[in-house]
Structure 1
Amino acid sequence: MLNLKSEPFRKSNPMMNLMNNLIYDLPAPVNLSILWNSGSLLGLCLMIQILTGIFLAIHYSPNTEYAFYSVVHIMRDVNFGWILRNTHMTGASLFFMCVYTHIGRGIYYGSYLRSMVWTSGTSLLLSLMATAFLGYVLPWGQMSYWGATVITNLLSAIPKLGDSLVSWVWGGFTVSNSTLNRFFVFHFILPFMMLALTAMHLAFLHDNGSNNPLGLSSGMNIIPFHPFFMLKDMVGFVVLLACTTFVSLLCPLLVSDPQNFIKANPMSTPTHIQPEWYFLFAYAILRAIPNKLGGVLAMTLAITVLYMMPTLHRNIMTGMSFYPASQIMFWIFLNSFFILTWLGSAPTETPFTEISQLATLIYFFLIISIPALGKPWDTVIFQNDPHINATNKTE
């Protein structure tokens, strides 16, 4: 019987050697918790979205006259088309749930200190958000059309170039057939670019090694990824697939907007325009700033601020496991995120506007200060530690 891990076979088969290094013999810290499953779940979500998206694209027509009815055709006439579309819609929500869990874990445990891994991951987040926005426009319902109109119009806030950029993105003087065509093309291409970014993300991760809940050097406390963590990931896969199946079959319209079941009508504006739930926090920040350009900059900074976190870190320890005050601030930050998500679906009126402004202020203050909030604690605890003092002097 051929031993796939034998040295002669691995040398004669470079691909098997690569797979062995990436999965079988990959050293992993022994104390990884269930929160580290979110990375593999994101890979599964990406594959589900790509596969279901390819089959949906076969029957979709990127034309303003036929797009809405092609989606109806997929749901009613295509064999198992309903389950494909329901899975694609549900998969998008689960994708973002796993992404936000992954980012929250990275902030809490200081994973952003692996700067290349964190930078590639943030780029993946931006690619995912762009792909999700483009995909939301494709059904060509009322909320799809007006959501595209509102979001693309934000480019007009850019001084001098804004109006030209909006016309260039639209391919005309309004959201039209040209806009839908290019949105469909980019929605199809971006997931494959995300695959390339994912490969870079994993390469940087395996080069630097995984973080762990204590934020300490793993040293000799490492075990091979297979079979210990592979079995753990398999359990996560089963749970995610079960959740996807449950929601797709029993409540696929759980987070869908009723306005999107009406064909896009440029002559009729919905009373309340809002994006999908996973964009609501950014939308609330956008509306919290009275100035249009200021709102656009704040919304952009709410996501791109993640790039700055490695440079903002001032704590001696890596994560928040040893910083009680930082832990409290992290949960306040998390609550501000949830409150902003709720406010994004609320009307733009008192008192929701004022609460949005307060929650936005808390969000930015904490996400910028969390990497350095443990500095006073370090001063009290480590001030008499000769090892820490010696390290600081050499630095």
Structure 2
Amino acid sequence: MGIYLALMAEGFFGYLLPWGNMSFWGAQVILNLPAALPVIGDGLAEWVRGDYIISGITLNRFFALHVVAIPLVLVGLVFMHIVALHHVGSNNPDGIDIKKLKDKNGVPLDGIEFHPYYTVHDMVGIVVFFICFFAVVFFFPEGGGFFLEPPNFETANSLKTPAHIAPVWYYTPFYAILRAVPSKLGGVIAMGAAIAVLFLIPWLDRSPVRSIRYKGILSKIALTVFAISFIVLGYLGATPATPTATIMARVFTILYFLFFLLMPFYTAIEKCKQPPERVTGGH
């Protein structure tokens, strides 16, 4: 989750760098969010911008954060992830602890070597990613307006507000939650909570099994509702805030949070399947 949060910050800081009109106004909306905090809000927003308005000072600051600071944080987090992975070991789709059954040399019976198994497995994902990535870069850079918005082809202009200000697609679910709350401060708190609650999943999940394939029907229904809510919120965050869209955003925001708030209860009471002792299905 730390890596995910750092990537979100990296994307936001880089979003302002093209100095397009949508980038400018999108950053204007986000950087004004601290102003919603009582007492310290205005001073905090000014401190984040480095100026009274978004200017070259803000641009230079975000450039340094995007190119140097956040990448260094990502390198550190990836290093910590690799160290933890080496110490604890990787997981498997069944969520089975393979360290319970070992051979005479103390090696897990279902354990496999990192090379060539994991390297080949990861290489497939990397190749598929690069195929999609270069297809977008060379043949579909605008992404239908989701990757490069038409207003961003115009130079930043503080006197010309785009007809509809929307963040890039991977922020739209949280932006929809922000707009769903009438109060500005309440929206900021709701958006922050929507991100922060993701860190609490290991403590909220009381299920005796880790894999969704062995969990009960309640977990599967809840996960389906959560996925639908997230996708719908992503769509609503990219569209203008009409009355109908606002009502829908409020409904799906409630469903989004209910997935986490009710998790300690439905994971504790549901009946789960017994996972096998071996990853291979042997006895």
Q: Settle same-fold status: TM greater than 0.5.
A: yes
Residues 34-45 of structure 1 mapped to structure 2, 5 A cutoff: none
| Displacement of 1:371 | 5.5
Change (3 A) 1:233 1:371: farther
Pairing 1:365–2:258 present: yes
Instruction: Extract unaligned runs of 5+ from structure 2.
Output: 102-108, 275-283
- Distance, in Å, in 1 between the alignment partners of 2:5 and 2:131 is 27
Q: Is the 8 A contact 1:333 1:367 kept in 2?
A: no
Q: Is the 8 A contact 2:166 2:239 kept in 1?
A: no
* Aligned with residue 195 of structure 1, among 42, 67, 75: 75
Pairing 1:232–2:121 present: yes
- Distance, in Å, in 2 between the alignment partners of 1:145 and 1:381 is 52
Larger radius of gyration: 1
- Distance, in Å, in 2 between the alignment partners of 1:125 and 1:232 is 22
Q: Which amino acid is 2:262 matched to? A: S
Partner of 1:137: 16
| Displacement of 1:381 | 7.8
Change (3 A) 1:180 1:370: same
Pairing 1:246–2:109 present: no
Change (3 A) 1:204 1:368: farther
- Distance, in Å, in 2 between the alignment partners of 1:224 and 1:173 is 56
Partner of 1:126: 5
Moved beyond 6 Å, runs of 4+? none
Pairing 1:208–2:88 present: yes
Pairing 1:349–2:228 present: no
Pairing 1:340–2:233 present: yes
Q: Which amino acid is 1:290 matched to? A: P
SS in 2 for 1:174: coil
Instruction: Extract unaligned runs of 5+ from structure 1.
Output: 1-121, 383-395
Q: Which amino acid is 2:249 matched to? A: S
Residues 104-123 of structure 1 mapped to structure 2, 5 A cutoff: 122-123=1-2
Change (3 A) 1:128 1:170: same
Q: Which amino acid is 1:307 matched to? A: F
Residues 158-169 of structure 1 mapped to structure 2, 5 A cutoff: 158-169=37-48
- Distance, in Å, in 2 between the alignment partners of 1:352 and 1:279 is 17
Change (3 A) 1:275 1:381: closer
Pairing 1:153–2:42 present: no
Deviation digits for residues 335-382 of structure 1 (CA, Å, limit 9, x no counterpart): 10000000001211211000000000000111333465232224x989
Q: Which amino acid is 2:81 matched to? A: H
Change (3 A) 1:225 1:372: farther
- Distance, in Å, in 2 between the alignment partners of 1:130 and 1:286 is 17
Bigger mean CA offset, 293-302 vs 235-244: 235-244
Percent identity over paired residues: 42
Partner of 1:26: none
Deviation digits for residues 283-316 of structure 1 (CA, Å, limit 9, x no counterpart): 0000000111110011011111122112212112
Change (3 A) 1:204 1:369: farther
Deviation digits for residues 176-223 of structure 1 (CA, Å, limit 9, x no counterpart): 111111011111121122011111012112211222222222232111
Partner of 1:259: 151
Partner of 1:277: 169
Q: Which amino acid is 1:178 matched to? A: I
- Distance, in Å, in 2 between the alignment partners of 1:131 and 1:381 is 41
Partner of 2:205: 313
Q: Is the 8 A contact 2:205 2:267 kept in 1?
A: no
| Displacement of 1:145 | 0.6
- Distance, in Å, in 2 between the alignment partners of 1:191 and 1:373 is 39
The structure with more helix, counted as a fraction of residues? 1
Pairing 1:374–2:267 present: yes
- Distance, in Å, in 2 between the alignment partners of 1:374 and 1:321 is 13
- Distance, in Å, in 2 between the alignment partners of 1:308 and 1:240 is 29
Partner of 1:292: 184
